A and B are shown apart, each in its own frame.
Chain A
């Protein structure tokens, strides 16, 4: 199996609690009120369970042989069990002393059992429950697992649901399936879920195909994406495109002259941007249908010329260090523009294989614009924490046309305890994991009055039925 290596992205697991970490030497980790170092875990196989020993070291846990030697004693009911608060003979100080001596959690649990006067009178099930509870508290074991969408989406939903707009893992699972995410796709992803949705899409595409991530503000957030530990190659065909440029891309006035990121960099380009954008506009007017790759070359040259021109300026200033800094920035910026142009070119083809939206923004404007970039007969899925915006989005999409099989849904997840004679649904379940609106794109017949739309509407919601519902609102 895969071994834990230094620099890996790994996930710590204790019972149902997860935490994503980078495996680094001599780095103190705090997890579930314990602190330790991961040094000793390096070289072990993923899935290994460790015990935390004194000094914060990790030691692979040995298989424990169950001590079922003595015949078990147990009561049948709790009619004679009285809660006097004195059933445990060990005091808090005694337990603390045991812990301070560095005695193994396993032995502490054994001592607790031996010093419990009521333990033998408890039913077998109650004894079981007691031991489990104490084990959880005193046996400090953690498992180190490889990150995956399953683990990271469960972890995020439990630890930081606000960062992923309360997108529950089963809802994310629906999105990946409804969106027909698979190797070779060209996907458009718009998310403000810390990069978790992006990571999930990347995992399902396995490095085949391409992804264009649409981002608000200065740049895409990929904190969760980095937890997956994807190989570098997965990022070769990951593109990003600023949302603030979508309108200009659709109307044909798109230029790369004002990058949305780094305010510093923007200040640098400001003076020269005007002249260039004018030129660019002329270019697009002359050749409105110009193929993207053709557009890239002339402007690339333009950029190089600009850098040279700046060079001259700075040589005069004779600030060598400063010059290098600026040059570095210029190169970075040039690279960013190049990437931006690549993403724009991919979008301009308007042949994406799907659209995934999961953000904090109102979904309607996102859908109405971003669907333009999707090919016909492709699925799209929108997530929203709330149902109401999706109701509106549904209506607007119907008005726009070009979509069929619209479906508003929500999934419910119920976990079970399965034990001999003690099987039942778990006590608590999640109240909500968000809503999905999904559908399939079709060729949009523009120019014609969209009679197809009203027909589609009547097809999906028979007029008679609708009247009835209005008459009898429940």
Chain B
């Protein structure tokens, strides 16, 4: 296993995802002799995990079971230990496409944060590209390095512990794309420009507040970036439900038994049209929006150096 290459079976040292149910999963480091506690009981790594196929159902000690999944950047994003606010897959997907990332791309990123975006970037640029990521918080930088090592992607990433606004990305004229998720991105636009290849490249800055976006756009213009474009992407998730709506009693049953205005989808009701009119229901499938959804993550500003 690695985050950039699928493997079939679970091996010692792998990072696997234990899937208990919708929105309920966690990562586990597979190690001989180790046990993991779940609400369904204990999982013994040596016997329950190692050698099994990814995607297998694993029965825990209390008889409950879980699925063991191969790690992907998307699963990691949903399960990683937060050291900062993170970017989620919806933003990550548009960032990746709009920065035109692909195998072989050289990308600069700051800050590394919890490494949510980093894993996705590495996945996309592998096996021939590279990520230069800059994090000014020493502990976070070290933690990120450790994770990249554990996930088998350390050869694809360089973590630098410095302030990107003061010291830049530590590289110049090599990047195809730059991504900024820092409080004052406008202070790093100059460094971003020099990190990008002389022939040009793409840049993206993520900011929650419109004031940050304004200053960033001004800085981008000042440094000669073109195609400056700000957008926002939101995800709407739907629950699939079968809904029954009751048919109102308009007193029609007493008037006329034979004419039925509705075609009920419910077969039990169809058998007795009388009851249908009195207390019938119509069933249908619906995609119901969640009661509360993410309304804003951040504005994404893209631009081109040409």
* A and B: bona fide binding partners: yes
Q: Which of A112-120, A317-325, A340-348, A414-422 contacts B (4 or more CB under 8 A)?
A: A414-422
Contact with B along A163-186 (1 / 0, CB 8 A): 000000110111011101011110
Q: Which of A82-90, A214-222, A307-315, A391-399 contacts B (4 or more CB under 8 A)?
A: A391-399
Let me know if A416 and B232 touch, CB within 8 A. yes
Q: Which of A422-474 contact B (CB under 8 A)?
A: 423, 435, 440-443, 445, 452, 456, 459-461, 466, 469-470, 473-474
User: Is A412 interfacial (CB-CB < 8 Å)?
Assistant: yes
Alpha-carbon gap, A115 to B303, bound state (A): 35
With A379-B72, A459-B22 as contacts: A150 and B100 at CB distance below 8 Å: yes
Q: Which of A203-211, A243-251, A259-267, A359-367 contacts B (4 or more CB under 8 A)?
A: A203-211
* CB closest residue in chain A, given B282: A473
User: Is B213 interfacial (CB-CB < 8 Å)?
Assistant: yes
Let me know if A176 and B93 touch, CB within 8 A. yes
How far is the CB of A336 from the nearest CB of chain B, in Å? 29
* CB closest residue in chain A, given B105: A206
How far is the CB of B26 from the nearest CB of chain A, in Å? 14
| Complex interface: chain A residues within 8 A of B104 (CB) | 206
Alpha-carbon gap, A473 to B284, bound state (A): 11
With A375-B8, A416-B231 as contacts: A409 and B237 at CB distance below 8 Å: yes
User: Is B166 interfacial (CB-CB < 8 Å)?
Assistant: no
Let me know if A183 and B103 touch, CB within 8 A. yes
| Complex interface: chain B residues within 8 A of A407 (CB) | 237
Chain A interface mostly helix, strand, loop or mixed?
mixed
Let me know if B54 and A377 touch, CB within 8 A. yes
User: Is A405 interfacial (CB-CB < 8 Å)?
Assistant: yes
User: Is B254 interfacial (CB-CB < 8 Å)?
Assistant: no
Let me know if A178 and B200 touch, CB within 8 A. no
Let me know if B57 and A443 touch, CB within 8 A. yes
User: Is B74 interfacial (CB-CB < 8 Å)?
Assistant: yes
Contact with A along B148-175 (1 / 0, CB 8 A): 0000000000000000000000000000
User: Is A385 interfacial (CB-CB < 8 Å)?
Assistant: no
Let me know if B92 and A2 touch, CB within 8 A. no
Let me know if B242 and A470 touch, CB within 8 A. yes
Residue among A205, A206, A391, A452 making CB contact with B240, cutoff 8 Å: A391
With A2-B199, A409-B238, A415-B231 as contacts: A182 and B124 at CB distance below 8 Å: yes
Let me know if B299 and A416 touch, CB within 8 A. yes
Contact with B along A1-33 (1 / 0, CB 8 A): 110000000000000000000000000000000
How far is the CB of B208 from the nearest CB of chain A, in Å? 14
How far is the CB of A342 from the nearest CB of chain B, in Å? 21
Alpha-carbon gap, A177 to B91, bound state (A): 10
User: Is B30 interfacial (CB-CB < 8 Å)?
Assistant: no
Residue among A45, A150, A395 making CB contact with B98, cutoff 8 Å: A150
| Complex interface: chain A residues within 8 A of B299 (CB) | 416
User: Is A376 interfacial (CB-CB < 8 Å)?
Assistant: yes
How far is the CB of A330 from the nearest CB of chain B, in Å? 38
| Complex interface: chain A residues within 8 A of B285 (CB) | 388, 391-392, 395
Let me know if A150 and B97 touch, CB within 8 A. yes
User: Is B94 interfacial (CB-CB < 8 Å)?
Assistant: yes
Let me know if A412 and B236 touch, CB within 8 A. yes
Residue among A415, A435, A443 making CB contact with B229, cutoff 8 Å: A415
Residue among B100, B230, B245, B304 making CB contact with A415, cutoff 8 Å: B230
Let me know if B199 and A1 touch, CB within 8 A. yes
Let me know if B243 and A473 touch, CB within 8 A. yes
Let me know if B93 and A173 touch, CB within 8 A. yes
Residue among B55, B199, B244, B245 making CB contact with A442, cutoff 8 Å: B55
| Complex interface: chain B residues within 8 A of A387 (CB) | 238, 287
User: Is A413 interfacial (CB-CB < 8 Å)?
Assistant: yes
Q: Which of B214-250 contact A (CB under 8 A)?
A: 214, 217-218, 228-245
Alpha-carbon gap, A456 to B236, bound state (A): 23
Please list 26 pairs of residues, one from A and one from B, whose beta carbons are closer than 8 Å in the complex, sorted by A's number: A1-B199, A170-B97, A170-B233, A174-B89, A177-B120, A182-B123, A182-B126, A183-B126, A206-B102, A206-B103, A376-B55, A387-B287, A388-B285, A390-B287, A391-B287, A404-B67, A410-B238, A412-B234, A413-B94, A414-B231, A414-B233, A417-B230, A418-B210, A443-B53, A466-B241, A473-B243
Supplied contacts A180-B72, A409-B236, 11 more A-B pairs, CB within 8 Å: A1-B197, A182-B4, A182-B126, A184-B127, A208-B103, A391-B240, A412-B233, A412-B234, A414-B234, A445-B57, A470-B242
> 4 tightest A-B contacts by CB?
A376-B55, A206-B103, A1-B199, A377-B55
A interface vs B, CB < 8 Å?
Answer: 1-2, 45, 47, 148-150, 153, 169-170, 172-174, 176-178, 180, 182-185, 203-208, 351, 353, 375-379, 387-388, 390-392, 394-395, 404-418, 420, 423, 435, 440-443, 445, 452, 456, 459-461, 466, 469-470, 473-474
